[in-house]
Amino acid sequence: MRPILVQMANTKWTTQAVHLACALARDTHKQVIMLRLNRVEHISYLGSELGDVPLTHLEYTHLQNYQGIAEAYGVEMDWMQIQCYAPMAALIEAAAYLGSAAAFVRVSKAPLRFVYQIRLWFLDRRFGAHGCQLYTLDYPRAVDIERTPSITVHPVKV
C-alpha cells in the first residue's frame, strides 16, 4: 500500500494538509504518514545524537490533534521523523523510500514568483520520477487565464 506523506510544518498549514490528505486517503484506501524533519546545523551531525531532537510538548499535542482528524476520516495515520541537512531533498528521499503515492509539502516562498515556480517545477519532476503526486497549499499553480473557464453570477433582485 502506497501511503500519503504529509510534511509537518506550521500548525495552520499542516492542519489543512492533514484534512486534504485524509480525504484523499479515505477515497483511495491509503495510509497517511506525518513526516517531521529534524534539520541539523552541520552535515556531520547527521546520524548522531546531536541531530536527534525529541518532540516538544506542543508538537506532541499537534500530532495528537492530527491523529484525531485522521480518526474522524476513518484513516490510519502513522508518523516518522528523519534528520536532514537539506529539507527538500529529504522529503523527496522519504517519499521514494516509502513509495508514497502523494506528498503534501510546504514549499518555501521566494521573493520572486518565477523562482517559486522553478522550485515547484523541480520538485514536481523529482516527486513525479518516483511516481509520487506533489501537493502544495501555498501559491496556486501557474494557470493560463485565457483558457480558464469562468462565469459571472449576478444576484437576483426580488
Query: Cα–Cα distances in Å, from 149 out to 102, 141, 146, 152, 155?
Result: 27, 16, 8, 11, 20
Set of cell numbers at residue 53:
531532537
Contact 17, 137 (CB under 8 A): yes
Domains, the chain, in order of start with CATH, read: 4-147 (3.40.50.620)
Between 33 and 82, residue with greater pLDDT: 33
The residue with greater pLDDT, 22 or 42, is: 22
Beta bridge partners of 4: 32, 102
pLDDT at residue 126, rounded to an integer: 93
Mean pLDDT of the chain: 83
Q: What is the pLDDT of residues 95-104, one digit of tens each?
A: 999 999 999 9
Lowest mean pLDDT segment, chosen from 69-73, 77-81, 82-86, 147-151: 147-151
DSSP state of 29: T
Residue in 99, 32, 42 with CA at minimum distance from that of residue 66: 32
Helix segments in 29-156, DSSP class H = 57-73, 87-98, 113-129
User: Distance (Å, rounded) from C-alpha 108 to C-alpha 7?
Assistant: 12
Specify the pLDDT at position 143.
Answer: 45
Helix 113-129 and helix 87-98, axial crossing angle in degrees, nearest 10: 30
Contacts with 71 (C-beta within 8 Å, 6 or more apart), sequence order: 77
Asked whether the whole model's pTM tops 0.75, one would answer yes
pLDDT (0 to 100) of residue 140: 53
Inform me whether the pLDDT recorded for 64 exceeds 80: yes
